[in-house]
Amino acid sequence: MLSMNGWSPAAFGKWHETAVWEISPSGPMDHWPNRQGFDKVYGFMGGETNQWAPTLYDNANPIEPPEYEGYHLMNDLTTQRINWMRFQQTLTPDKPDDIKDWVDLSDNEKKLFARQAEVFAAFLEMTDTEIGRFLQAIKDLGEMNNTLIYYIAGENGTSAEGGLTGLYNEMTYFNNEPKGSDVDFMLNYYDDWGAPNTYPHFAAGWAICFDSPFMWSKQVASNYGGARNCLVVHWPDGIKSKVEIRTQRHHVIDVVPTILEACKLPEQRVVNGVPQ
């Protein structure tokens, strides 16, 4: 959770959480601290070690202790912590990345971010239009009342993958293109935002905004902002209650059993030879 929100977690010293039979370069590495969320790890993996001649690991790599007169593990660990802290402060002094309030944005940021939200709203309008066109086709067939319709608004919470400033093309993120998140550079695509020559994300501030009143976003499933969606079910001939809001928990795993029940079909005990 800390890494995904702009922090740089590190662990120095004793890590006594990995099974002894997993402590080797062949792993498995699932229970090593680097797989537990730490960007940097320096110390020993066992329950204890020799303080003057420790068995050390730098991340997942076994290393020899530094050679200098008077070496002691406690001194070494402190030096490593200080160096890590200085590296972080020098290279990324602004971490963690805080989402600015709108009033604190620059004029260019406001211009770009507003455009991002406008294009997103336009896409929602287009989606609504296409859904309406599809529903009209069902009406034209005279089957609206006898059709079971599930409308799920999204796949999860709003996405914050655009980072603090958004992206004019998502591929710039995957390919570490340095200008991909630069506000002034992205303004070159202001008129084309959402067109075929872009593949945009809006800024993470919009994700937090559009998920409200729930906290967080798609990347953080520990809160409703990263998991909860609206669901509308419409089937006048099959559902007695009308215009009713249900407040109890539901899950997508409820959808298939409900459809099978509506179609009067049994749930399969075996699928492609696999017992269910």
User: What tens digit of pLDDT does each residue of 48-105 get?
Assistant: 999 999 999 999 899 999 999 999 999 999 999 999 999 888 888 777 787 889 999 9
State the Cα torsion 254-151-123-138 to the nearest 10°.
140
CA distance from start to end of the chain: 34
pLDDT of residue 126: 93
Residue 87 DSSP label? H
Sheet holding 56-58, edge to edge: 10-14, 40-44, 56-58, 61-63
Flag residues of the chain having pLDDT under 70: none
**Using CA atoms, how far apart are residues 270 and 138, in angstroms rounded to an integer?**
34
**Using CA atoms, how far apart are residues 204 and 116, in angstroms rounded to an integer?**
11
Q: String of b and e for 222-241 (b: at least 16 CB within 10 Å)?
A: eeebbeeeebebeeeeeeee
Q: Which residues have CB under 8 Å from 192's CB, separation 6+?
A: 198
Upper half-sphere CA count for residue 72 (Cβ side, 13 Å): 4
pLDDT of residue 115: 98
**Using CA atoms, how far apart are residues 199 and 143, in angstroms rounded to an integer?**
38
For 37-49, what is each residue's pLDDT tens digit? 899 999 999 889 9
Please give the C-alpha separations between residue 110 and each of 104, 206, 207, 225, 264, in angstroms, as whole numbers.
Answer: 9, 12, 16, 24, 54
**Using CA atoms, how far apart are residues 235 and 19, in angstroms rounded to an integer?**
54
**Using CA atoms, how far apart are residues 161 and 220, in angstroms rounded to an integer?**
11
Q: Is 202 helix (H, G, I), strand (E, B) or coil?
A: coil
pLDDT of residue 252: 86
pLDDT of residue 230: 86
pLDDT of residue 141: 94
Residue 254 CB coordination number (10 Å): 11
